[in-house]
Amino acid sequence: MPARRKMPLELADTAAARRRALTVVTTMAPSSGLHDEALRRGWRLLSLPLLNLVLPAGVEPRGALVDVLPDDKVILPLRRRGCPMVRLGNLPHPQDGQVPAVLPDLAAEGRLAARHFAERRFRDVGYVGSIPWSDARTFYEAFRDAAENLGMTCHLCRFGARPGEARAAWMARKRRAVTAWLREAPRPLGLLARGPPLAATYSLWAAEAGYRVPEDVAVLSRGGAPEICGACLPTLSSIDPDGPGRLRIACDLLARMMKGERPPERPILVPPRGITERESTNLIAVPDQRVAAALRYLWAHLDKDTSVNNVADAVGTSRRTLERTFRLHLGRSIVTELRRKRVEELCRLLRTTDLTLAELAPVVGFRNQPHLHTTFRRALGMTPRQYRMRNGPNAERGTRNAE
């Protein structure tokens, strides 16, 4: 009888590791982020969408990550088995006490959007909502309330489809309604959109109606990957709802539940990571064109050794006139605004990149790190390193339970 061939050592190690791994099933579409989280925890991940939504015979999952509602028939067999389960969703559900949920903090996102427009001196903001309300009502109401508390007026346009209406007819009618609403709204207007497709559409409709984006209508999107927001014209400023952070928190919760921890009774709300500013809101809304031009020049030359004389020459006015007009409209000096914008841009880069501080400093115009540290700490009360630890790509995010 021929000798039995031995399995290569590396394959034997892999097979043994797979036998030891905890099997976790998911209804979520496969992604690199999900794969990495499972790998980091030693889980063997099984994707139900790739298995025709049927759990193979003999598989005994130790946990489940789902993105469907708790009463969805796909996960009912898992629930009957008593399989620990965590839901990644958008809105609370009556059965969240049985299937704990990790959700975006939509109210915090709405408040963040309002502050973004307030910081840019907008007096009027707007939102286009659906009839009936979609899952964005909490998002809109928090935006409206925060805007009003910050002294802005919030304008609402709501639009719904008619029974049996074809999508093309509905879109044509919505386009006319939104364009008419934009014509009636005060300008400049800060417009908040529920996602990149809507934000891009509203930007296009505004431009076709003769309005400049962002000078007349500034558009901010909720969510959207950089490759999507960066491919629009103009590029879209966007709220980062921290999808990777929600996934990490959900996996941490599931790992604890698989060890016997009781699930939380209320959903865990994960706050947004911040706003990535791009062209669609890259301005401060001021009526004086000299100040607006000065701001555009400053923001486009953050990496340069820009002086007040440089700015005055670029705008075509005297230094004294520009300084007086600038302070009149913004309540701060040109030098203070340049420092504020450099810190804001540095914060964005700390949140979204892994570049070292030495690499980032010249990008935002700081020629030495002691000056950068002093300016940053004075503005935010922490060092750049502390800021990145709290908000960067690998940060541990703070959460709160829904009330």
What values do phi and psi take at 385, rounded to 5? -65, -45
- Packed helices 369-380 and 384-391: angle between N→C axes, nearest 10 degrees: 60
Other C-beta atoms closer than 10 Å to the C-beta of 131 total: 9
219 strand-pairing partners:
191
Sign of the CA dihedral with 379 first, then 384, 385, and 387 last: positive
Name the one residue in this structure whose structure tokens are 């960067």: 392
Q: What is the pLDDT of residue 202?
A: 96
Q: Which fold has domain 106-241+275-281?
A: Rossmann fold (3.40.50)
Query: Domain 289-391 carries which CATH code?
Result: 1.10.10.60
Contact between 245 and 397 under an 8 Å Cβ cutoff? The reply is: yes
Q: pLDDT tens across 294-351, in order?
A: 998 999 999 999 999 999 999 999 999 999 999 998 889 999 999 999 998 999 899 8
The two structure tokens encoding residue 327: 């302070």
- CA–CA separation, 144 vs 149, rounded Å? 9
Burial 292-309 (b: 16+ CB within 10 A, else e): bbbbbbbbeebeeebebe
Strand segments (E) across 288-342: none
Name the one residue in this structure whose structure tokens are 């939380």: 264
Helix-strand-coil percent breakdown of the chain, rounded to 5? 45, 15, 40
- CA–CA separation, 92 vs 74, rounded Å? 19
Residue 188 has what DSSP assignment?
A: S
Q: pLDDT tens across 2-18, in order?
A: 555 554 544 444 444 44
- CA–CA separation, 160 vs 288, rounded Å? 38
- Name the amino acid, one letter, at 162: R
Name the one residue in this structure whose structure tokens are 């076709």: 208
The two structure tokens encoding residue 287: 């009526």
Query: Do 289-391 and 106-241+275-281 fall under one CATH topology?
Result: no
Helices marked H in 150-195? 167-184
- CA–CA separation, 215 vs 6, rounded Å? 71
The two structure tokens encoding residue 35: 């794969």
Domain limits, the chain:
9-105+244-272, 106-241+275-281, 289-391
CATH number of the domain at 9-105+244-272, out of 3.30.420.10, 1.10.10.10, 3.40.50.300, 3.40.50.2300?
3.40.50.2300
Contact between 257 and 63 under an 8 Å Cβ cutoff? The reply is: yes
- CA–CA separation, 14 vs 18, rounded Å? 6
Q: What is the pLDDT of residue 289?
A: 85
- CA–CA separation, 403 vs 380, rounded Å? 29
Residues of the chain below pLDDT 50: 1, 7, 9-20
Q: What is the pLDDT of residue 111?
A: 97
Contact between 254 and 65 under an 8 Å Cβ cutoff? The reply is: yes
Q: What is the pLDDT of residue 58?
A: 83
Helices marked H in 209-269? 226-229, 243-258
Residue 284, CA distances (Å) to 92, 119, 236, 246 in order? 36, 8, 16, 32
Q: pLDDT tens across 143-160, in order?
A: 999 999 999 999 999 989
